[in-house]
Structure 1
Amino acid sequence: MKLQSIAIQEFKQFTGRLVIDDLQPGLNLFVGPNEAGKSTIAEAVRAVFLERYKASHLKDLLPWGRASGQPSVEVSFDLDGAACRLSKQFVTRQRCELKIGQAVFGEDEAEDKLAALLGFSRAARGPLKAENAGVPGLLWVQQGGTQDMRDSTGHAAQYLRDALSQLSGSRESAGEDALIAAVQRELRQLLTARTQKSTGPLAQAESALAALIVERDELNRQREQFEENIARLATQQEAFDDTERKRPWELHAQKAALAQQRADAAAELERSVEGLAQALEVNEAQLALSVQQEQAAVDLESAVARERQQLDAARANLAAADTEHAQAASRVTQFEQAFADANRALELANAAVSAADLRSQIGLYRAELERLEAAIGAASEANEALLDAARGAASLEIDETKLKRLASLDAELTVLRARTEAAMTRIEYRLNGAITVGDAAISGEGVLRLDEEKSIGLGELGELRVIPGVSDLSARLSELASLDAQHARLLQMLGVTSLGEGELRHEQWKALVAQQKSHAKVRDAHAPQGIDALRAALASAAARWQSANERLASLPDVSAALPLDEARRSADIARDALESARKMLDEAVGKRSTGMATTESLALQVQRKDAQLNDAAFCRNRAQWQAKLVEQRVQVEALTKQREGRARELEAARLDDPAAEATRYRASAELAREEQRERKMRITQLRSQLETVGASGLGERLAALDAQVEQATRRQDELSLRAGALSLLDEVLVDERDAALAQLRAPLTERLGHYLKRIFPQSTIALGDDLSPATLDRHGRADTLDALSFGTREQLGILTRLAYADLLKASGRPTLLMLDDAAVHTDAARRDAIKRALIDAATRHQILVFTCHPELWDDLGVRQRAIDDIKAAA
């Protein structure tokens, strides 16, 4: 199917009539910005082919901003060589007409015919649903829907299968699917589809059997428990009687009392050890204080002796520092005088260099003055010549445009005069007498040119009437007169008598203008910034020359000056020597100050510590703590021996931990009593349970349950056998159908591979039962469509639709592809591959591509049709 033209009127944003004609049989590219109307055109094509013309839900097709209107769409197309036309009007005055060749179909008949031809189904009522869209829903991609393939392919699956059956010659019967569906319905009543778990009657039978088995197991457990309880009752009664005879808790209580007595004695011994430890701690502290005081006195005596030695050394260092300071001060004075002499010599050397520079500058300034004076003279002369040429050019200037017009008129007049003279009647005469031409008498020889009707009198012979043979001579004469008048006015306006005089004057004017330019170049060469700038520069140069002379005169006599480099070296040497001497002086000053501070500090410290050692109170206190030291040492040794003896006794008493022994025996006695009480309670409970179970008829209940379990097992086995048979039948039928489907898919798989290799080389695509793409296998890894990126799914959506169109075309079905803003999420390399695929497919199908990115599609080799241009043409 090939669209020839599309006419849209009062349809959404198109309030008027929009006509798109000259559609190409292959690729058609429509471009425009967002909201230009691309998607509206695609929607109009879908509406005219797919929507029911009488549908009440299509009020959104009304033109924007208008509550009333008559949306209509008309398309002309070619179908298998037959010219077809389809027109529909929606909302108001609904109508539908389909013309195929000479056959005309109207209303519902036309829509049924369209559905049969294009491969879709009509909705019973309401808007067109996705499941009704069929082949157009698959091939006509709406904006943003390129990547959605599964639903659209599923809705077109039956049409694709019919086409594949026709191509492959396979037999795929709808009856086989019906039989499989029936078997699977029966199987699903017993087993679930995905997990094959039991359901329905089978699950109920299994549940009932499991419940009976649980109940039977519980009764068996109760019977075993009954027998165990009888044995336990005998054992518990024997243990209770034996314990009552032995009464072990009384023996544990006696042991606990003895252990408590030992624990009390150990506690008293521990308190005694703690008292001795506290007394020893106090005495040791007093002894440590006395030792510390005596050691402080000894340390003070040692410090005084050590600091006296340090004081003697500091005084010797101070004397040496005084000598070094005096020598450094003398050297600084000597080097300061040498540095001053070197600086004066350097200043004289710098003055000599300045004098040489000034003499050189004076020579340069004198040369500059001479150059500027010469340039001013030459520039002034050129400027005068320029002014003379300008005055001459002003007097000769002529309007070049009017002169060109005069030349054009002169040429036209020349041609027109020649044509007019050629058109006049020309009479050459040689007369012996006289004749009259009009009112004038003519005689002798000559030539007459007659531009109008004239009478020639021949005397007695009569007269001749001469009528020019050219019919438009009067018009030419009128045109000649008009041009003559224009020519005269131009001569007057230009102030010349002829064209030659005007051209001569113009040439003279051009020569003077050229002279102006030449003189201006000469003037600008000498005075690029003007003569006044030269005069200012001359004044500036004169001032600088005078200033340099004055500065030279102010300099001192430099005849005895040293060379500048030698003077600088001498000054640097003197400065370095002075800096070195000053550093040595600073170091000597620092040493002297440090020595004085150290000596004074040490003298004060020795004096203070001597006074402390010789103090009378300090001497008395020292004698007292020296006397106490012996007494305190003896007392500490006695307390230490006593505490160690008591500690050994305490350790022996604690060896078996009598307190823990007492606690253990008391706990053992209580546990023995509690265990006997619990044993008595268990005996009572066991007797009660045995009496209850013995009266419940446990054996009869267990026999009845065994019979029920056997019956339920037979029911489960029957249902399991039925489920297995149905499952086996389902596998056989599905395998047969899959084999038929594999043969059916072969043409489609071949076309998919043809397009797929353009973007995904060395890859394959697997199809589902509904012939939609299921997985993409690349380099041994299979990815489902949902696992792929949005852009990859979009690219697969375009390529698979081209493959579907190929197989529909091969089976004789009409095809038309519409892509609204497809390949938006595609990089440049893959977009080029998609373009090549579209160009390939366009040799077999008509493709309408709508895009808002014309720069990305300008290399398809087809004309881009701008929506704005189409609307403007309408």
Structure 2
Amino acid sequence: MSLVIRRIAIENFRKFRDPFTIDNLTDGLNIIIEPNETGKSTLMEALRAAFFVRHNTQNQLAKSYAPRGDSVAPKVEIDFAIDGAEWSLRKRFLKSASIDVEGPQGRAQGDEAEALLNTLLGSVRDTSRAGDVSTYGALGLLWVAQMDALEIRAPGAIVRDTITASLEAEVGSIMGGEAYRKVRERVDAQYELYWTPTGVKKGRQVEALRRFEVAVTASAEADDKVAQLERSFGELDVCRQRLSVLLREMADQTDSQIRADLVSSLEVARMAAQLLATRQAENEVAAGRLAKLEDIQGRHDAAVVTREKAAKALQDARTLRATSRERVTAGQSKVAEARLAVIEAQAANQRSADAYWKGSENHKEQQLQDAAAAARQRYGELIGLEAELEAMKRVELGAIPSDKLATLEVNERAVVEARARLDAGAAHVTLSGNAEGVMIDGEHMAPGTRALTRTTQIRLGDAELVITPPASAASAEKLLAEAVSKQNDALSALGVTDLAAARERTIAAREASADIRTLMARIAAASPADDRIGLAAGADALKLFVSLQKEPAARVDHGAVDLAKLKQQLEVDATALARAEGVVQSAIEDLRKCEAEEAPRATAEALAQNDLTAVQNAIANIQAHPDWVGLADALSSARQRSAEAAIQLDAAMRNATAHDVADINRKIATIDARARAAADQKTDLEKDIARLEATIDSEGGRGLAEQAAAARDELDASRAALQRVTDDANIIMLLRNTLEEARNETSARFAGPVARRAKGYIERLLPGCELAFSDSMALESIIRAGTEEQSDSLSRGTQEQLAILTRIAFADMLRDQGKPISLILDDPLVYSDDARLDTMIDILREAASQMQVILLTCRDRAFRHVAGNRVRLGS
């Protein structure tokens, strides 16, 4: 059963913002050849959207139909026929989404229309976000989008089931057929009670497992409560024992006596610490005084050494700078001389440039004068040629059309034939000798032969001769008169005297045409372009130039201009200028080097002078210090005082170490903390004892042992139920897997008939090759010359060709099952060579005799010769 698309109309669909319609599609082969970016692939998407995408979906695919940047409702309308029955489909997406399907059975809208479409086309509802072609049924396999044909894919589940059903009788199996589906549906129904489609536990298994987990939790809680009660008795005995021991320890007075002794020794330790602080302050004062005096002495000694070094550095810097200053002066003189030479070279170069410019202007003026004179001379030649051309055109216009010339020739033949007929049927009279007195029909008869076509009277003196010719002579004369009249009218209309003149005029017109072409070439040669005066090529440009020219002025002779000599002199002077400028640059560079050498030396001299001044100021400041006078005696006294303070500090430190206040305080704090901890522990133990006694009183009368026994019984029952459910689930899964394995084994037998049908097409492309299909009916490999080649290792062109041929084979089987089929290929056979392309086109033409085939391509040359219905996307 064939699906034939009659008409497609789309609006607001991607690049087709304005309404667009194709309404001349036919049953057989339809070819749409358009350049890239004209909407061929969009047309394919519109067909898929209309037939397979739900009108009210808001998924990503539907949103992509709206033109970019527009908030509109994409619309698609299709008129099509299935098995001769005419249908129409109207679908609108996104805004006010709607669908309307009308056919022999009436009209449907909304979800009913979508269901009707699925039934008509053998498809199922597509719930994916980006479009799943496997849900489109047979048309999902046979409508091949751009680049999809490059991959050899297995048909979807819908197509496989349909083909399997058609092959059941052929392979002698019910696996995959109606009987298999009934068994499989029952097994799947039981399977869904226990497992998800991916093999994860659900339903009864989850309920049994949940019951078992609840029983485990309840049993564990009951056992835990019993164990907790038993632990409470043990903890109560332990707490009472610990409290008894703690009370005995708190009654011991040893820590109290030790604390009293530590408090009495704390005052002695404080007096030793105060004496140590005093000795430390005295030692710091003595050490500070000594350090200050030693610093003054050290700074003075260092400044004296630095002063001697700065004086020597200053002397060295002055010596070096004197040498570099002389080099800078010499460099400055050299730069001045070089700049003077540059000025002279610039003047000479300017004189040469002026002379060359003046010579160039004179030469250009002479060239313009020569070009204008040549143009005027060519203009004169052009006028003569154009006059001759007009004459030839007039001759050419006199050409007699071939049909009219043929008419003259026909008329001439008619006249000749009429004269011959007249001569054959007329009476001929010949008069010779003395013709005086001989009269014919009352007129004097001259010597010679005369043809008589009617009754004629000839008088010979007194005698009269009557000659009566045959009756046919009169009709022949009439025909001759008519032929002559017709010929004369035709000659008069053409303005010629006879046929020969007409032929001569035609020959002259033909020769004039050749002369015209020669004259046109001579005119083009006489009016060339001339860039010197801005003249474009062509006679009109030459005429315009001459008409705009004034009378030529008298030629001004500037004499012979030797531009080469002037240019040579300019180049010599330019070279001299460049050299002079180079000398200046070199001198400036040398001066910069000298200045660069002199700059750090000047800086060094300034820094040395600054360092010397700074150190002299530092020495003066040190010597102005109040402690400078008598510094040696003060240093000796300060060293002695510092030694005495150190001895006294050492003695104070020994006394303070023997009576450490911090250590005594730490020991007192430890005794106090131990007492507080004992009191806190006593309180906590009394609280725990009270809590445990209350717990034992409350929990002991609740029958925890009976509750634990009941929970264990429930646990055993739920464990047994879980095992039963698990066994049932595993059996169902095993049965389902066994059915699937049996189906896969049988699918291998289905591949044989599929391969035989596909081989009929592929044999024409790859003679002598064997095909191997997978369980999913995908072309897996081919065998050529005993060698197996995987399909994905073949060339891109071969893969594309095999993908199309297998689809045609599947289409044959689907047609046998009464499924609606048509073949649409978007940009097919892009990798095919010329020979295989011709073979594939022949196969597609044959397929078009069984179903509608639509080719969308941009390859005009490849499909230009293919006979079929040509469809245009543009106007």
Q: Same fold (TM over 0.5)?
A: yes
What is the rounded CA distance, in whole Å, between the counterparts of 1:610 and 1:17 in structure 2? 105
Match of 1:59 in 2: none
| 1:286 and 2:293 correspond | no
Matches within 5 A, 1:24-63: 24=28, 28-30=30-32, 34=39
1:816–1:847 contact (8 Å) kept in structure 2: no
What is the rounded CA distance, in whole Å, between the counterparts of 2:651 and 2:244 in structure 1? 53
Q: Are the structure 2 counterparts of residues 857 and 188 from structure 1 closer, same or farther at C-alpha, using a change threshold of 3 Å? A: farther
Q: Are the structure 2 counterparts of residues 726 and 437 from structure 1 closer, same or farther at C-alpha, using a change threshold of 3 Å? A: farther
Q: Are the structure 2 counterparts of residues 133 and 310 from structure 1 closer, same or farther at C-alpha, using a change threshold of 3 Å? A: closer
Aligned-residue offset at 1:128: 3.9
**Tell me, what secondary structure is at the counterpart of 1:542?**
coil
2:80–2:87 contact (8 Å) kept in structure 1: yes
What is the rounded CA distance, in whole Å, between the counterparts of 2:191 and 2:390 in structure 1? 119
Match of 2:716 in 1: 713
Aligned-residue offset at 1:165: 0.6
Match of 2:695 in 1: 689
Q: Are the structure 2 counterparts of residues 440 and 41 from structure 1 closer, same or farther at C-alpha, using a change threshold of 3 Å? A: farther
Aligned-residue offset at 1:168: 1.2
Q: Are the structure 2 counterparts of residues 804 and 629 from structure 1 closer, same or farther at C-alpha, using a change threshold of 3 Å? A: same
| 1:442 alignment partner, one of 441, 445, 449 | 445
Q: Which has the larger radius of gyration?
A: 1
| 1:646 and 2:652 correspond | yes
TM-score calculated relative to the size of structure 1: 0.59
What is the rounded CA distance, in whole Å, between the counterparts of 1:607 and 1:721 in structure 2? 106
2:382–2:523 contact (8 Å) kept in structure 1: no
What is the rounded CA distance, in whole Å, between the counterparts of 1:642 and 1:41 in structure 2? 108
| 1:457 and 2:464 correspond | no
Matches within 5 A, 1:97-116: none
TM-superposition CA deviations, 1:574-630 (whole Å, max 9, x none): x99x979x979989x979x969988996999599779959x9x94986324444322
Match of 1:662 in 2: 668
**Tell me, what secondary structure is at the counterpart of 1:862?**
coil
| 1:862 and 2:858 correspond | no
| 1:629 alignment partner, one of 626, 629, 635 | 635
Match of 1:236 in 2: 239
Paired amino acid for 1:423: A
Aligned-residue offset at 1:170: 0.9
2:279–2:648 contact (8 Å) kept in structure 1: yes
2:31–2:856 contact (8 Å) kept in structure 1: no
| 1:468 and 2:468 correspond | no
What is the rounded CA distance, in whole Å, between the counterparts of 1:596 and 1:725 in structure 2? 103
Matches within 5 A, 1:392-541: 399-402=394-397, 404-405=399-400, 416-417=411-412, 419-424=414-419, 425-426=422-423, 427=426, 428-431=428-431, 440-448=443-451, 455-458=455-458, 459=464, 461=466, 466-469=473-476, 473-486=480-493, 488=495, 539-541=556-558
1:11–1:72 contact (8 Å) kept in structure 2: no
TM-superposition CA deviations, 1:463-491 (whole Å, max 9, x none): 55741337754443233223443565799
**What percent identity do the matched residue pairs reach?**
12
Q: Are the structure 2 counterparts of residues 470 and 126 from structure 1 closer, same or farther at C-alpha, using a change threshold of 3 Å? A: farther
**Tell me, what secondary structure is at the counterpart of 2:822?**
strand
Paired amino acid for 1:132: T
Match of 1:789 in 2: none
Matches within 5 A, 1:8-407: 23-24=27-28, 28-30=30-32, 34=39, 86=85, 96=104, 126-129=113-116, 131-133=118-120, 135=122, 138-141=137-140, 153-155=156-158, 159-172=162-175, 174=178, 177-179=181-183, 181-182=185-186, 185=189, 189=193, 195=199, 197=201, 199-200=203-204, 211=214, 214-247=217-250, 251-252=254-255, 254-256=257-259, 258-259=261-262, 269-270=272-273, 272-299=275-302, 399-402=394-397, 404-405=399-400
Q: How many residues align?
A: 737
| 1:813 alignment partner, one of 807, 810, 817 | 817
1:141–1:818 contact (8 Å) kept in structure 2: no
1:386–1:520 contact (8 Å) kept in structure 2: no
2:236–2:689 contact (8 Å) kept in structure 1: yes
Paired amino acid for 2:429: Y
Q: Are the structure 2 counterparts of residues 746 and 548 from structure 1 closer, same or farther at C-alpha, using a change threshold of 3 Å? A: closer
2:80–2:88 contact (8 Å) kept in structure 1: yes
Q: Are the structure 2 counterparts of residues 245 and 848 from structure 1 closer, same or farther at C-alpha, using a change threshold of 3 Å? A: same
Aligned-residue offset at 1:669: 1.4
**Tell me, what secondary structure is at the counterpart of 1:850?**
strand
What is the rounded CA distance, in whole Å, between the counterparts of 1:844 and 1:546 in structure 2? 81
1:438–1:455 contact (8 Å) kept in structure 2: no
Paired amino acid for 2:250: R
1:276–1:642 contact (8 Å) kept in structure 2: yes
What is the rounded CA distance, in whole Å, between the counterparts of 1:420 and 1:622 in structure 2? 161
Match of 2:126 in 1: none
What is the rounded CA distance, in whole Å, between the counterparts of 1:506 and 1:725 in structure 2? 105
Aligned-residue offset at 1:853: 3.4
**Tell me, what secondary structure is at the counterpart of 1:817?**
coil
What is the rounded CA distance, in whole Å, between the counterparts of 2:635 and 2:40 in structure 1? 112
TM-superposition CA deviations, 1:67-110 (whole Å, max 9, x none): xxx998678x7xxxxxxx555799999984xxxxxxxxxx79xx
Aligned-residue offset at 1:385: 11
Match of 1:853 in 2: 857
Q: Are the structure 2 counterparts of residues 160 and 695 from structure 1 closer, same or farther at C-alpha, using a change threshold of 3 Å? A: same
1:133–1:155 contact (8 Å) kept in structure 2: no
TM-superposition CA deviations, 1:403-452 (whole Å, max 9, x none): 544999999868755642441323542147788777755353224497xx
**Tell me, what secondary structure is at the counterpart of 2:683?**
helix
What is the rounded CA distance, in whole Å, between the counterparts of 1:241 and 1:174 in structure 2? 88
**Tell me, what secondary structure is at the counterpart of 2:866?**
coil
2:137–2:159 contact (8 Å) kept in structure 1: yes
Q: Are the structure 2 counterparts of residues 460 and 19 from structure 1 closer, same or farther at C-alpha, using a change threshold of 3 Å? A: same
5+ unaligned residues in a row in structure 2: which ranges?
12-17, 53-76, 91-99, 124-135, 459-463, 534-541, 783-798
2:396–2:513 contact (8 Å) kept in structure 1: no
Q: Are the structure 2 counterparts of residues 830 and 674 from structure 1 closer, same or farther at C-alpha, using a change threshold of 3 Å? A: farther
Match of 2:133 in 1: none
Aligned-residue offset at 1:163: 0.6
Q: Are the structure 2 counterparts of residues 715 and 435 from structure 1 closer, same or farther at C-alpha, using a change threshold of 3 Å? A: farther
Paired amino acid for 2:669: T
Paired amino acid for 1:456: T
1:430–1:446 contact (8 Å) kept in structure 2: yes
Aligned-residue offset at 1:763: 9.7
Tell me the C-alpha RMSD between the 2 structures.
Answer: 7.5
2:827–2:857 contact (8 Å) kept in structure 1: no
TM-superposition CA deviations, 1:336-383 (whole Å, max 9, x none): 9x999x99xx99xx99xx9xxx9xxx9xxxxx9xx99xx99x999999
